Amino acid sequence: MRPRHDPLARLRRVRPLWGLLAATALLYLWGLGSSGWANAYYSAAAQSGAESWRAFFFGSFDAAGSITVDKPPLGVWPMALSVRAFGLSSWAILLPQALMGVATVAVVHHGVRRATGSGGAALLAGATFALTPVAVLMFRFNNPDGLLVLLLAGAAVATLRALDSPRAWAWLVLGGGLVGLAFLTKMLQAFLVLPALVLVYAVFAVVPWRRRVLHLLGAAAALVVAGSWWVVVVDLWPSSSRPFIGGSQHNSALELVLGYNGVGRLTGAQTGAVSGPQGWGSNTLLRLLDPGTGGQASWLLPAAVVLAVAALWLTRAGQVEDSRARPALVLWLTWAVVTWAVFSLMNGIFHDYYTVALAPAVASLVGIGAHIVWEHRAAAAATWAFGLAVAVTGVLALAVLWPQRSWSPWLPWAVGAAVAVALWRVAVAHRRAIPVGVGFAAAALAAAYVGPAAYSVETAATPHTGAVPHAGPVRSGPSYDAAPVGDLLTVSRSTPALTRLLVADAQDYTWVAAVTGANSAAGFQLATDRPVMPLGGFNGTDPSPTLAGFRRLVAAGRIHWLIAGGGRYVPESDGEVQPVTRTGSNDAERIERWVARHFVATSVDGVVVYDLTAT
């Protein structure tokens, strides 16, 4: 007799997942609009894309199409569509990001559930991802990293599905296509996962070698098509009828791929880049473990590696039940190690929030590794693995939390106590030759998650603006959010009087104003809802426009005002304007000097402006 089908059985199995997703949505959506325009650079591009389909396609910073953002447009498109649907607001811009975060938790949960067959391991992995502080930051912010992580996590899970599926080629092509779309989100950073995907399919696929090669070639073709079509179209498009490609020096999307957003990120040879007096920090293997960067995504990074290696050792006999867990461990471990090494050693632009790319790998390794080691906890190797994982987690957590003890004095002591209890339970288990038990598990979970959970809640409760957000407690240093003209990394704040001046007769001009640097331009564009030209693009170092081109636009009466003082560099250390290392075009500086010589300056609320219609 066939067993009677229970229609509620599946519901009971997925109920914990829905609880996890609801809690994640609450964390990512609560008070979402408190960050205002967040990264106003991308908010301005979303505003432009909502007003003009031409600006939408190219990823133009302004609706008039002077220059694109210095990334491909895919990361801007969901925000622009949301603004078209709901109107221009902080909530409309950030809503797609939060939903991407919830979707990524579901993807990580699915991948771990399929690899282990354990709902508990999947919940642990999903919760680990959701409570990674930099994930909370990025999925409540509007940088392209959120979409990048979602697409890459999907590519990894699709590749794992391909290993034993009768439709292996379809899953693998899907994975390649998702990596291609990730490339259209943040260019070459998307390719950091390729060693993991290729290695796992080449080693663990059940199909013969010839078919493996053909499948990998098909996935590569999908990647190339999905990732290159926009680059090809843009570079074939007549440059006179499209925006200048931001981040390039020769108006080329391919140059952007290979230079500023490509190999230059590794070597540091990025024409058009800007760096402050301290450069981009120390590029050593300890970069991601220092107290500042470590608080973003590295809380469980060493423990994840320890648990993964232990799980691979404990399953070395190759039991049938481990046939999905071992490939998943190899994939996520390779992802974590490659990303860790590249981020640690790269000489080019590096920001702490880049580490969100580690979050899916760390969360999955913790879920799968902890599950397998727990299942083998009677083995001495499992006891030692748990002890080492707790020890390295405790050391890193205390290194992160101790400098922040003025923010929360009790946290380091709570973590230290939990670590001590967990290690004591490990010692007792080892001495008595018995498995670690529930008491150890509770103490270990407290030691591992008290710190990142507190950082995550603080991140969600704190508004974040500017180009370089940071998860966790607000770091000391002056705030520049109120700067009328902004600077290189913070947005301008237009005053009512200045906004009224800019919008007067705005319909008579293509651009109501021009100002050096995209962050300086963004605040004025969002305040006026009119195109503002960012001279020199994001860094003020792109030849867009040239001095000759700008003079022609002024002669044609297409630009009304020039706002002086944009694009400065103000580091967080002392609030003083500092010299910076600049490469690339100096046309923006030449334009400001030419305007100062030929037009009369007017001060509005302390901001110097020039009327370009009156010499």
Residue 478 — very low, low, confident or very high, per pLDDT cuts 50/70/90?
very low
- Answer whether residue 374 is part of any domain: yes
Average pLDDT, stretch 524-530? 97
- Answer whether residue 99 is part of any domain: yes
Q: Looking at this protein, which amino acid is placed at residue 544? A: S
DSSP SS3 for 600: coil
Determine the pLDDT at residue 275.
Answer: 63
Average pLDDT, stretch 66-70? 96
**pLDDT tens column, 127-154:** 999 999 999 999 999 999 999 999 999 9
Residue 608 CB-half CA count within 13 A: 10
Q: Is the pLDDT of residue 575 over 80?
A: no
**pLDDT tens column, 157-185:** 999 999 998 999 999 999 999 999 999 99
Range in 10-24, 188-202, 571-585 the model is least confident about: 571-585
Do 279 and 411 lie in a common domain? yes
Do 212 and 76 lie in a common domain? yes
Do 447 and 512 lie in a common domain? no
Q: Is the pLDDT of residue 103 over 80?
A: yes
Determine the pLDDT at residue 506.
Answer: 93
**Nearby residues of 149 by Cβ (< 8 Å), 6 or more positions away:** 100, 104, 135, 138, 356, 357, 359, 360
Q: What is the pTM of this model?
A: 0.94
The domain total for the chain is: 2
Average pLDDT, stretch 69-83? 97
What's the token pair of residue 609?
């402006």
Determine the pLDDT at residue 343.
Answer: 94
The domain boundary, picked from 459, 485, 510, lies at 459
The domain boundary, picked from 459, 484, 516, lies at 459
Q: How far apart are the C-alpha atoms of 66 and 538, rounded to whole Å? A: 12
The domain boundary, picked from 459, 481, 506, lies at 459
Do 207 and 345 lie in a common domain? yes
State yes or no: cis peptide before 545, omega within 30 of 0. yes
Greater pLDDT, 566 or 177: 177
Do 320 and 411 lie in a common domain? yes
Tell me what the pLDDT averaged over the chain comes to: 91
Q: How far apart are the C-alpha atoms of 29 and 403, rounded to whole Å? A: 29
- Do the bridges between strand 607-611 and strand 581-582 make them parallel or antiparallel, or are there none, so unpaired? unpaired
Residue 476 — very low, low, confident or very high, per pLDDT cuts 50/70/90?
low
Do 125 and 208 lie in a common domain? yes
Do 401 and 525 lie in a common domain? no
Determine the pLDDT at residue 347.
Answer: 85
**pLDDT tens column, 14-29:** 789 999 999 999 999 9
- Answer whether residue 6 is part of any domain: no
Q: What number of other Cβ atoms are within 10 A of residue 278's Cβ?
A: 10
Residue 459 — very low, low, confident or very high, per pLDDT cuts 50/70/90?
very high
Residue 12 — very low, low, confident or very high, per pLDDT cuts 50/70/90?
low
- Answer whether residue 80 is part of any domain: yes
**Domain span holding position 334:** 17-459
Q: What number of other Cβ atoms are within 10 A of residue 86's Cβ?
A: 13
Do 286 and 406 lie in a common domain? yes
- Answer whether residue 187 is part of any domain: yes
- Answer whether residue 310 is part of any domain: yes
Determine the pLDDT at residue 479.
Answer: 45
Q: How far apart are the C-alpha atoms of 254 and 197, rounded to whole Å? A: 25
Range in 201-210, 221-230, 468-477 the model is least confident about: 468-477
In angstroms, the Cα distances linking 85 to 78, 163, 523, 528 are: 11, 40, 22, 20
- Answer whether residue 406 is part of any domain: yes
Q: Is the pLDDT of residue 522 over 90?
A: yes
Range in 26-30, 488-492, 590-594 the model is least confident about: 488-492
Determine the pLDDT at residue 276.
Answer: 56
Residue 96 — very low, low, confident or very high, per pLDDT cuts 50/70/90?
very high
- Answer whether residue 368 is part of any domain: yes
Range in 7-11, 99-103, 142-146, 366-370 the model is least confident about: 7-11
In angstroms, the Cα distances linking 613 to 532, 596, 598 are: 16, 14, 11
Q: Is the pLDDT of residue 11 over 70?
A: no
Determine the pLDDT at residue 574.
Answer: 46
**pLDDT tens column, 378-392:** 999 999 999 999 999
Determine the pLDDT at residue 320.
Answer: 62
**pLDDT tens column, 49-67:** 999 999 999 999 999 999 9
Q: What number of other Cβ atoms are within 10 A of residue 410's Cβ?
A: 11
Do 503 and 454 lie in a common domain? no
Torsion on CA atoms 541, 547, 549, 551, rounded to nearest 10: 140
Q: How far apart are the C-alpha atoms of 413 and 416, rounded to whole Å? A: 5
